[in-house]
Amino acid sequence: MTDIEFHVQSWEETYNSTMVLFEKILADKFKPEVIIGVARGGWIPGRLLADFFLLRETANVKVELYHDIEKRGETPIITQEISTSLEGKRVLLVDDVADSGKSLQVVIKEFERLGIENFRCATIYYKPMSIIKPDYYVIETTSWVVFGWERFEFISQFVKLEMNKSRSLEEIKSELKQIGIPPGDVEIYFKVYKDSYKNLMT
């Protein structure tokens, strides 16, 4: 894990970054009629954008891709269909990050299959290795981004990897804090799920 660079984004950063994303979309004079959040990462930025646009029509689509931090599925599939009709509407597709780009690609192909032509794609982060470059994004990065809504999930994945390296629980907790996970979140996580990691206790 030491060769991976992490960025733990605070809730305030998420809000501010999404506001910048909103301003970019406004500058392009694109006014969506419906916002589709890619579950689960696109839910919160999608909801924020709906608020900024004073837009009530939102929906979601779920794509399964990631299994854990260092292992990814190769063939993403839609496991929850788009939850509203998009016919004849201006659509904004929102996710938190364009990483491999495969999740966005599969949704865009679904849009094309449905005959949806007037759509744009927006993410907070864009990684240059992504096969899809969003129409709008705020930050280009190569770091592993940890958002506020996935900290416990990240800790769980991190611990599973570190359990195989003969490291103590305190060492793992210390590294999580150094990465930038708030100490309170780390302590609460291990308090709640301590029975799952008894073999790490020293």
pTM of the model: 0.88
Q: 136 near 21, Cβ under 8 Å? A: yes
Q: Which residue has the tokens 């794609």?
A: 121
Q: What six digits make up the tokens of 176?
A: 């999580």
Q: Which residue has the tokens 């201006």?
A: 90
Q: Note the pLDDT tens digit of each residue in 98-141.
A: 999 999 999 999 999 999 989 999 999 999 999 999 999 999 99
Q: How many CB atoms lie within 10 A of CB 160?
A: 13
Q: What six digits make up the tokens of 117?
A: 């032509």
pLDDT winner (highest mean) among 24-28, 77-81, 82-86: 24-28
Cα separation, 143 vs 7, in Å, equals 6
The CB-side HSE value for 159 (13 A sphere, CA atoms) comes to: 23
Q: What is the pLDDT of residue 164?
A: 72
User: Binning pLDDT at 50, 70 and 90, where does residue 194 land?
Assistant: confident
Cα separation, 193 vs 77, in Å, equals 31
Say yes or no to pLDDT of 150 above 80.
Answer: yes
Q: Which amino acid is at 84?
A: T
Q: Give the 3-state secondary structure of 118-183.
A: CEEEEEEEECCCCCCCCCECCEECCCEEECHHHHHHHHHHHHHHHHHHCCCHHHHHHHHHHHCCCH
Say yes or no to pLDDT of 175 above 70.
Answer: yes
